[in-house]
Each structure stands twice: as structure tokens, then as C-alpha cells.
Amino acid sequence: MLFRRSQKQQPPAPAVEDQQRFVTLAYRAILAREPDAQGLQNYISALQHGLTPADLLQGLLDSQEYAQKTHYDYRQDAHIAPYLSDEVVQLSDALHGQKPVSIEQYDALWQQLFDLNRYQIDNDQRRYGMDHYQRFYELVNALSLLGVANGGKLLEFGPSQFTLFYKELFPKIQIHTADRPLPEDFVGFNAALSYASLGSEQHYRIDLNRSLNYAEHQQKMGQFDWILFTEVLEHLTVSPSELLAFLFSLLTENGRLYLTTPNFLRAENLALLSQRRNPQAYYPPMQQNEDAHHHVREFTLLELLSLATEVGAKVHAVYFSNCWDPAADEARAADQRGNMVLVLGT
């Protein structure tokens, strides 16, 4: 019996209805919307002329629309952009990028303070110095850019061994310090050490976690050209709006508040939230929190900007800092960095 060799049959072309359904599902899955009429027609035509389904999907993934949906730019956020005038962006970029205090100059001070142990730094304070090395390098550069070298009154909440750097770098300033009441045997810069070692002209004992008579403290303290409020806000249980209003009452007419605090929406937290896990640690046993290190409440950038507006403050600069981030994560998205820096004024 003779058999006729069958010719290889080409699969039938998909029906237009199937192509339309595929394009529609691709738009929904990737761009989270229905296809517009022109886009739908263009892709159906392309499929009919040889475009593969894989190439269609890749085209949507490579589109500018998809990039805008998946790559968040906080400066384009409709809620944040109104705070970011050209002047704010310019100063923010300068604070983030410029280094008027060279790393060599900073390291020379570091060696005096920590390596040569000029001020009798103990092991706990040295460990603090290592952990906060990058943060305070950013801070002294910010002070230089904000004009502290010209002199004036500077108030720092929560003084540390790094306070010694300010007078070395900016000898014209008058340093004042403030902290919660601390016992004399506390390992850190209590009132006595602030006067003796830091050269503080005045030290104020203020427990910000208790009800304050803000007007009474403002009268006693007077006003300052610069206030440093770094890595403090997240430890407090008081109303942030009342606290900020108090801080602004301590500023001179052209004074500036330099505020830093952890970014709640940093990469590590977002990863945990995507797993439906709470990134905020619950309150530890009291005996494990004697130094008040626990973060009671962390903030987002929009929250801080809204609080500043609520108390009538003006935003002069804002950026995300990677001072807490591992070196390997240096390239992470700006808004997912570990810390936030704001410069606010009256």
C-alpha cells in the first residue's frame, strides 16, 4: 500500500477575538488598566504581522508607563512635590552631595577623639562613635553649608562625644545642650560632662517624654540660630505637632531646625510589610530600655512635611540619607534609604 507523505501543517492563525483577549489581559496584568482603543488596535495588527506574544509582553514591561508605575520617585509624588520648590531641591542636593568638610579633616578629628582618646572615651561611647560615623559626617557638612561657621547660638538635643567636633570645626559658635534628667553616674554626657567636656555654655534638663510647660521652658532657654534634633523624635511619646511647635518657638527669625529620624518606609520595612509582617518592634521590658533606645513611633516623609505645615514651619531642605544602610545597598532607591533629613525654619 502506498502512503502519501503528509505535508507539515501550519497552525491556524489565532482569531482576532483571541488576539484582542490576549492584549486586554496583558494590559490588565502589567499596566493594571484596560487597553486604550489605539493601543489595542496597534497590538492586534502587530500580532497579525508576526509579533510574538512574548515580545508583546516585553514591550509593555519596557514601556515608560510601566516604569512610572513600578519605580516610585518621591519628588514626583503629587502630595510631596508642592513642598519641593527649586530652592528646596537645590539646598537638598547640596546637603546630600557637597562635602565642605573633607573626609581627611573629619578623620583627623576622629583620631583625636577616639583613637588617641583625648577625652577619655569609654568602650560604649566608642561603639556609639563607630555606629554613627557617617551620620555625623553628614551633619557637620550640613552645618557648614548652613552657615554655622559665621557664629551664633546652637542648641543640640541629646549631646554626644560628637558635639566636640562642632567647636573644633566652627570655633565662633556658642554651644548649648539639652537632654532628659540623667543620674550623675550615667554613662554618657549628663549635665556635668556637658559643661566640663563639651564646653556647653548652658545645659537644659528637659524630659520630652513627659508633659511639658512649653512656654516656661521657652522663656528660660531663649532662642537659637540652629537646633539639632537628630535621632530623637522616634523615641518620644508626646504629640509631634506640639513638640515641633515648641522647637520652632526656640528659633530666631532666620533660625533653622536640623531634624533627622529613621525612614519608616525603608527597604527592610517594605520587605516585611510585603510579607504582611509588622516591622516595628514592640516595647521591650523596662530593664532592657533604661537608655530609652526603643523606637516608639517612626515616621514617613509625608507625615513630617504635613506636621511642619501644621505648625507653620517652612521646609528648606529634605532628602533621604543612607547613613544607616549597608555599603552593599548604596544603590537602593532614594525613598527606600534608612534615614530622613529635613531642614525647617519659621
The pLDDT, as a whole number, for residue 220 is 86
> In terms of Cα–Cα distance, which of 344, 134, 115, 132 is closest to 250?
344
Q: What is the pLDDT of residue 190?
A: 64
Asked whether residue 235 falls in the same domain as residue 94, the answer is yes
Closest C-alpha to 254, from 346, 189, 182: 346
**Residues 88 and 43 grouped into a single domain:** no
In a domain, residue 60? The reply is: no
Statement to judge: residues 43 and 142 lie in one domain:
no
Residues 175 and 285 in one domain: yes
Whole-number pLDDT of residue 3: 44
User: Residues 234, 297: contact at Cβ < 8 Å?
Assistant: yes
Residues ≥6 apart with Cβ < 8 Å to 221: 155, 176, 178, 202, 204, 250
> In this predicted structure, what is the pLDDT of residue 116?
55
Q: Are residues 49 and 99 in the same domain?
A: no
- Is there a single domain that holds both residue 112 and residue 168? yes
Residue 28 covered by a domain: no
Residue pair 320/263 in contact (Cβ under 8 Å)? The answer is yes
Q: Is residue 66 part of a domain?
A: no
Rounded distance, CA 235 to CA 262, Å?
11
- Are residues 47 and 122 both part of a single domain? no
Give the integer Cα–Cα distance in Å for 265 and 332. 13
Do 94 and 194 share a domain, yes or no?
Answer: yes
What pLDDT is recorded for position 294? 86
Q: How far apart are CA 279 and CA 331, in angstroms?
A: 22
Strand (E) or helix (H) holding 324 = none
What pLDDT, on the 0 to 100 scale, is given for residue 2?
46
Q: Which three cell numbers stand for residue 101?
A: 568638610
Answer whether residue 226 is part of any domain: yes
SS3 147: coil
Q: CATH number, domain at 296?
A: 3.40.50.150
Q: Are 206 and 232 in contact (CB under 8 A)?
A: no
Same domain, 18 and 143: no
135: left (phi over 0), alpha (psi -120 to 50) or beta: alpha
| Residues 49 and 123 grouped into a single domain | no
Q: Report yes or no on 162 lying in a domain.
A: yes
Q: Are residues 120 and 218 in the same domain?
A: yes
Domain count, the chain: 2
Q: What is the pLDDT along the chain (346 residues), one digit of tens a residue?
A: 444 545 555 555 568 889 999 999 999 999 889 999 999 999 999 999 999 999 999 999 888 788 777 778 899 899 999 999 999 999 999 999 999 999 999 999 888 877 655 555 666 677 777 888 999 999 999 999 999 999 999 999 988 888 888 989 999 999 999 988 776 666 566 666 666 677 788 989 888 887 567 777 888 899 999 999 999 999 998 999 999 999 999 999 999 999 999 999 999 999 999 899 999 988 888 777 766 788 999 999 999 999 999 999 999 999 999 999 987 666 788 999 999 999 999 8
The whole-angstrom separation of Cα 134 and Cα 157 is 19
CA distance 109 to 114: 9
Residues 319 and 196 occupy one common structural domain: yes
Q: CA 40, CA 237: separation in Å to the nearest integer?
A: 54
State the cell numbers at 50. 508576526
- Structural domain includes residue 70: no
pLDDT at res. 198: 75
- Report which DSSP code applies to 96: H
Q: How much is the pTM?
A: 0.80
pLDDT confidence of residue 215: 76
Domain of 41? Answer: 14-23+36-55
The answer to the question of residue 131 being in a domain is yes
pLDDT for 343:
98
Q: Are strands 152-157 and 314-321 parallel, antiparallel or unpaired?
A: unpaired
Q: Tell me if 22 sits within 8 A of 43, measured CB to CB.
A: no
Q: Where would I find the H helices in the chain?
A: 16-30, 37-48, 53-61, 64-70, 86-97, 103-110, 123-131, 133-145, 163-169, 191-196, 214-221, 240-249, 267-274, 301-310
In a domain, 64, yes or no: no
Q: Tell me, what's the pLDDT at 120? A: 59
